[in-house]
Amino acid sequence: MMWRIFLSLVLAAVVLQGTEPLSDEDGPLVLDYYREQCPLAEEIVSRSVAVAVAKDPRMAASLLRLHFHDCFVMGCDASVLLDSYGGITSEKQAGPNHKSLRGFKVVDEIKYLLEEACPGTVSCADILALAARDAVALRGGPRWNVWLGRRDSLEASFSGANQFIPAPNSSLETLIANFKQQGLDIGDLVALSGSHTMGKAQCLSFRQRVYDVQLRGEYELHDKYKRYTTFRRILRSICPESGRDHELAPLDHQTPTRFDNLYYINLLQGKGLLGSDNVLVTQDDEGEIVKQVWAYASNEKLFFASFAESMIKMGNINVLTGSHGEIRKNCRFVNT
């Protein structure tokens, strides 16, 4: 109840001046975009995310992942939030998202509060970008400036979600090509993969990595102390060869709710959960990616700085601004 009382006071304090419609002129994203039209926008998002993560620490990873899955399909335009309606087939039903993405109700709550404070002003796409940043910072990770001014798409892409979101068993070659298609380079791939230092994955996402004999040999080859063997036994106890597809295991078995650099240490020990994580060290013939993994494993501050830079870069993928798109009143549906 206390947080609702606080937010009520926040909303009551919103200054009514400066609520003219946004400019129709196209332009780049900017800092303090809502300073005049909705001065407490970032505070409302931050407080709401803090409440959600306090209730469910795993929600931090879920909100971060939501932003990632949005940006990799048509750009950072909140298309991932749309429900199936009329001619729209929701991206939520696509393979990488179905029964996997979480955090939609948190976004709904944030949007409700923002519409109460500043009707028709703050986009759902900007909410996703801000929520991802705040979620990471709350769990001990870096905090970065979020450039704002995104508008929301008028459509979703079910096929795009199936095509462009990396699969948990992707090869390194596929991952590099996938990120390149989004305007992201190999450095961004390695840095953003560090988001798997938080959260959990379903059994169906890592079963192949546990039971495939050839893959197992690759991981053990890169772990001279054979620590992977014990780790594999733990994973098998969670995930049998068949059934229990939605059983969860932590992506980082040591600190699953904290944003840190242990993800990279796990990779070097053969203890990355997903096949798409481990290929960073098992399929890097040139060795440059492995060097970056070692650098982040050795220097958390370096990882944090690189991650923040890559998140800003990712948040700029194919954004809609100016007269393109709209500001949805409800993040699940286009305006009518």
Q: Is the CB of residue 198 less than 8 Å from the CB of residue 257?
A: yes
Measured CA to CA, the distance from residue 11 to residue 124 in angstroms comes to 18
Burial 292-310 (b: 16+ CB within 10 A, else e): bbbebbeebeebbebbbeb
Q: Which residues are annotated as a binding site for substrate?
A: 166
Measured CA to CA, the distance from residue 289 to residue 280 in angstroms comes to 6
Q: Is the CB of residue 269 less than 8 Å from the CB of residue 230?
A: no
Q: Which residues are annotated as a binding site?
A: 70, 73, 75, 77, 79, 91, 166, 196-197, 252, 255, 260
The residue type at 313: K
**232: CB partners within 8 A, 6+ apart:** 210, 216
Name 88's bridge partners. Answer: 85
Catalytic choice (69, 98, 222, 246): 69
The residue type at 166: P
Alpha-carbon radius of gyration of the chain: 20
**105: CB partners within 8 A, 6+ apart:** none
Q: Is the dihedral of CA 317, 323, 327, 332 positive or negative?
A: negative
Q: Within its chain, how far is the Cα of 234 from the centroid?
A: 27
> Does 246 participate in catalysis according to the annotation?
no
Q: Which residues are annotated as a binding site for Ca(2+)?
A: 70, 73, 75, 77, 79, 91, 197, 252, 255, 260
**1: CB partners within 8 A, 6+ apart:** none
List the one residue out of 109, 105, 138 whose CA is nearest residue 44. 109
Strands 200-202 vs 248-250: parallel, antiparallel or unpaired = antiparallel
Active site positions, annotated = 69
